[in-house]
Chains A and B, each alone.
Chain A
Amino acid sequence: MDKKPLKPKSDPAAGEAKAGETGFTMNRRIFLGTVGAISGAVLVPGVRKAFASTEFEGYPNSFGVLTDLTACVGCRSCEKACNEANELPEPDRPFDDGSVFQEMRAPTPKAYTVVNRYENPRDPDKPIFRKVQCNHCKEPACLTSCPIHAYTKTPEGAVEYNPDLCFGCRYCMTACPFNVPAYDYWSALEPRIRKCTMCLPRIREGKATACAEACPTGALTFGKREELLTIARKRIADNPGKYVDHIYGEKEVGGTNWIYIAGVPFDQLGFPTNLPNRPLIEETKGFLSAVPVVLTAWPALFGTIYAALRHRDGLDEEKKDAEKHEEVKK
Chain B
Amino acid sequence: MKAKTVSILTFGLCVLFAAYLSAEGTSQPGLRVLGSLSDKYEAVTFDHAKHVQMSDGCVACHHHGNGNTSSCQECHGLNPSVFRNSVINSFMPCSNCHGAFDRENAAMPGLKVAYHVKCFACHRGMGNVGTDPRGCAELCHVKKK
A interface residues with partner B (beta carbon < 8 Å): 63, 66, 71, 73-76, 95-98, 125-127, 206-208, 213, 215-218, 221-224, 227-228, 230-231, 234
Contacts and interface: CB of A to CB of B under 8 A. Distances in A.
Interface residues of B, number: 22
Interface in B75-121: 101, 103-104, 106-107, 109, 112-113, 116-117, 120
B106 A217 contact: no
A73 B121 CA distance: 12
Contact of B125 (A97, A98, A126, A218): A126
A222 B124 CA distance: 24
By CB atoms of chain B within 10 A, which of A66, A73, A223, A231 has the most?
A73
Contact of A218 (B103, B113, B135, B137): B113
Contacts of A215: 113
A217 B103 contact: no
9 contacts: A71-B117, A75-B133, A95-B133, A98-B133, A126-B125, A222-B101, A224-B104, A227-B107, A231-B107
A238 to B, nearest CB: 9
A216 B103 CA distance: 16
A207 B101 CA distance: 10
Contacts of B124: 73, 126
B131 A74 contact: yes
Contacts of A218: 109, 113, 116-117
A98 B135 CA distance: 10
B131 A127 contact: yes
Contact of B106 (A73, A125, A213, A231): A231
A216 B112 contact: yes
B136 interface: yes
A300 B40 CA distance: 70
A73 B112 CA distance: 14
Nearest to B107: A231
B57 interface: no
A207 B125 CA distance: 32
Contacts of B117: 71, 217-218
Nearest to A217: B116
A76 B137 CA distance: 13
Contact of B103 (A127, A222, A231): A222
B113 A73 contact: no
B71 to A, nearest CB: 20
Contact of A76 (B106, B113, B130, B133): B133
Contacts of A223: 103-104, 106-107
A217 B117 CA distance: 6
A74 B120 CA distance: 12
Given A97-B134, A222-B106, 10 more contacts: A73-B120, A74-B130, A75-B135, A76-B133, A96-B134, A208-B103, A217-B117, A223-B106, A223-B107, A227-B107
Given A127-B131, A218-B113, A75 B136 contact: yes
Contacts of B128: 98
Contacts of B137: 96
A156 B29 CA distance: 44
B136 A96 contact: yes
B56 interface: no
A227 B133 contact: no
Contact of B134 (A98, A216, A221, A230): A98
B101 A216 contact: no
A223 B130 CA distance: 25
